[in-house]
Every structure is written in structure tokens, then in C-alpha cells.
């Protein structure tokens, strides 16, 4: 093997070493001054106070390095930051450090995709235009892969909230009509349906925690509609806010909303059932009809071929 053949592998190894060195510098342990500043911001981090221990390993390293890594693509305006927080909340990530961690993952995936694309391009095309295209494609795919994963997670969670909300409302109506208040009813529902409707009960637990911390009920109900991103949850929050404002019956408002959502879910199921006939055309044409065609026409074709050969 000549020196020219070894050049792409040497360049790939050099790029990998540089990326690893930069990552090691960014993820190095912080000084005691940084730890003291974190302790001042969050007293639970202080040693000897019984707080949660500092995370170690790769997860703790990523959490510590996330602010530095994500600084390059950090949203510049408050509106863009709020949009990112809402998207992450729609997927179920409500922690304050979720945006920085998500952006850090995007940067790391960009670097990893670029390294993989560069290695593939140098190994197959060398220092040519196709090698540069491989680097761009690898970096772009790595950068937008977290976006695709987040979009799928948001869609899945919103569907879980939409399908589980009528059952949650039915039980909440029973609790309220039995004499419990709205806050106690939400706690009871979250305890009973934690296993079957996890997405909705997580949002209710977060609402209960915010109410216990002293936040106004109107703000808490408004935030749960924004966090989930489901139109039915937003409508439910608006109805509850209106009932709390004018002093009307909360149980009646919940019952009306539950019936409306159940009808909507049944209509959605009927719509999907009607689409089944159209969706089955493609598997029938591609997989079933060829087999039927062979079974029915095959013997006749064989007999015709034998007749032609004998004549």
C-alpha cells in the first residue's frame, strides 16, 4: 500500500483526534469557583445539605458541557427561545436545562455526522468533490436528525394526550361530583391512571406541584394547554378558567367537555376505518394479486406452452 492510499485514513484519524481533543477541553471538570456559583444559585447542591448528589459519568459531563457546546447555535431572541421551550415541552421535556442539552446534542451530532461523512468520502472518493459532498451530507444529516426525533416524539405524546384525555375527564368528573375539589380531584386522577395514561397524569402532577407552590390556578391551567400543544387540552383549560372566573359548576363543564372529546375521538376512529379500504388497495395490488394471477393463469399458460411446443 502506497503513501497515497494511506493519506485519506491519516486525514480521517487527524480529524477524529482534533474533534476528540476539543470535546475533552469543553467537557473538562469545572473549578471550585464554578461549583460555588452553582451552589449559590441552587442551595440543594451544597455539600452536607442532603441535596441530590451531582451527576457523574457521561450524563453529568454532558449536562456540564451543554451550555458551552450549545452557545454556537443558541437562539438570539426571546421569541425563538420560547418557541424551542414549547417544542421541548410538547415532547415532555420540561426541565430548565432541556433547551441547552438539546442544542448541545445537535452540535455533537453535527460533528459526528461530519466525521463519519468525511471518513466515508475519503475512503471511497479521496480529496475530491464527492468527498466534500459526503462531508456536507453527513453533517447535515447529523444536525437535523435530532429535529426529526423531536418531531416524532411530539407527535406521539400529543396523540397519547388526545386519546387519554376523555378517560381522565370521566374520572375527574366522578371525583368532583363526589365532593372533591378540582386540585384534589386532579391528584386522585393522577394516582389512579398513572399506568394507563402516563402522559396526561404527568401534566397533572406538574400542575399540582405548581399549585402547591402558590401559582394562580389560571396561569397553571393556561400553561398545561401550552405545554401539551393539544387543542382539546387548550379548550379544556379555557373552560376551567372561565368556570373558575364566573363561579359556574366545574363538574358540568368537565362533563360537557368529556362528551365532546369522546364524540370527536369516535369520529376520528370512524374516519380511519373508512380509510382502510383505500389503504388496502396498494398491498392487494403489490402482494396478493400477483399470487392469485399465478395460481389462476399459471396452469392455463403451461397448457398453452405445451400445446404450442407439440404443434
In angstroms, the CA 102 to CA 91 distance is 12
In angstroms, the CA 186 to CA 238 distance is 16
Q: How many C-beta atoms surround the C-beta of residue 265 within 10 A?
A: 16
In angstroms, the CA 119 to CA 114 distance is 8
In angstroms, the CA 138 to CA 119 distance is 10
pLDDT of residue 277: 83
The answer as to whether 212 is a domain residue is yes
- Residue with grid cell 395490488, as numbered in its chain: 285
Residue range of the domain that includes 163: 158-266
- Residue with grid cell 453533517, as numbered in its chain: 139
Q: What is the pTM of this model?
A: 0.69
Q: Which three cell numbers stand for residue 218?
A: 389560571
In angstroms, the CA 149 to CA 154 distance is 9
Q: Give the residue ranges of the chain where pLDDT is below 70.
A: 1-15, 17-68, 311
Nearest to 153 by CA among 105, 204, 199, 101: 199
The answer as to whether 163 is a domain residue is yes
Nearest to 102 by CA among 151, 136, 168: 151
Q: Are 92 and 158 in contact (CB under 8 A)?
A: no
Q: What is the pLDDT of residues 247-280, one digit of tens each?
A: 777 888 888 888 888 888 888 888 888 888 888 8
Q: Percent of the chain scored above 90 by pLDDT?
A: 2
pLDDT of residue 152: 92
Q: Which three cell numbers stand for residue 131?
A: 468527498
Residues 6+ apart with CB under 8 A from 173: 251, 254, 255, 258
The answer as to whether 279 is a domain residue is no
The answer as to whether 304 is a domain residue is no
The answer as to whether 245 is a domain residue is yes
The answer as to whether 283 is a domain residue is no
In angstroms, the CA 126 to CA 32 distance is 47
Give CA angle at 285 (284, 291), nearest 5°.
Answer: 80
Q: Residue 122, class by beta-carbon neighbours within 10 Å (0-12 exposed, 13-18 middle, 19+ buried)?
A: buried
The answer as to whether 122 is a domain residue is no
Q: Which three cell numbers stand for residue 123?
A: 475512503
The answer as to whether 29 is a domain residue is no
Total structural domains in the chain? 1
Alpha carbon distances (Å) from 217 to 26, 150, 178, 208, 212: 42, 29, 21, 10, 10
Amino acid at each position: 500500500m502506497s503513501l497515497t492510499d494511506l493519506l485519506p485514513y491519516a486525514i480521517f484519524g487527524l480529524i477524529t483526534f482534533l474533534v476528540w481533543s476539543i470535546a475533552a477541553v469543553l467537557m473538562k471538570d469545572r473549578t471550585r469557583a464554578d461549583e460555588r456559583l452553582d451552589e449559590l444559585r441552587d442551595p440543594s447542591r451544597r455539600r452536607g445539605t442532603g441535596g441530590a448528589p451531582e451527576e457523574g459519568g457521561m450524563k453529568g459531563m454532558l449536562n456540564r458541557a451543554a451550555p458551552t457546546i450549545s452557545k454556537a447555535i443558541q437562539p438570539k431572541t426571546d421569541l425563538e427561545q420560547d418557541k424551542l421551550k414549547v417544542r421541548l415541552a410538547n415532547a415532555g421535556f420540561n426541565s430548565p436545562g432541556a433547551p441547552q442539552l438539546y442544542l448541545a446534542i445537535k452540535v455533537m451530532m453535527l460533528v459526528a455526522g461530519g466525521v463519519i461523512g468525511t471518513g466515508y468520502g475519503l475512503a471511497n472518493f479521496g480529496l475530491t468533490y464527492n468527498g466534500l459532498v459526503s462531508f456536507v451530507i453527513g453533517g447535515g444529516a447529523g444536525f437535523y436528525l435530532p429535529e426529526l426525533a423531536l418531531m416524532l416524539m411530539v407527535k406521539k405524546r400529543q396523540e397519547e394526550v388526545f386519546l387519554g384525555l376523555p378517560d381522565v375527564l370521566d374520572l375527574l368528573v366522578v371525583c368532583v361530583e363526589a365532593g372533591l375539589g378540582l386540585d384534589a380531584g386532579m391528584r386522585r386522577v393522577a394516582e389512579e391512571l398513572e399506568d394507563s395514561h402516563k402522559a396526561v397524569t404527568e401534566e397533572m402532577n406538574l400542575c399540582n406541584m405548581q399549585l402547591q407552590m402558590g401559582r394562580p390556578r389560571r396561569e397553571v391551567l393556561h400553561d398545561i394547554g401550552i405545554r401539551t400543544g393539544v387543542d382539546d387540552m387548550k379548550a379544556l383549560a379555557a373552560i376551567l378558567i372561565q368556570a373558575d372566573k364566573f363561579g359556574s359548576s366545574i363538574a358540568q363543564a368537565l362533563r360537557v367537555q368529556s362528551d365532546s372529546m369522546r364524540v370527536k375521538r369516535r369520529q376520528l376512529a370512524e374516519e380511519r376505518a373508512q380509510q382502510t379500504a383505500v389503504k388496502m388497495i396498494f398491498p392487494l395490488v403489490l402482494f396478493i394479486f400477483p399470487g392469485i394471477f399465478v395460481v389462476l393463469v399459471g396452469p392455463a399458460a403451461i397448457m398453452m406452452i405445451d400445446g404450442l411446443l407439440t404443434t
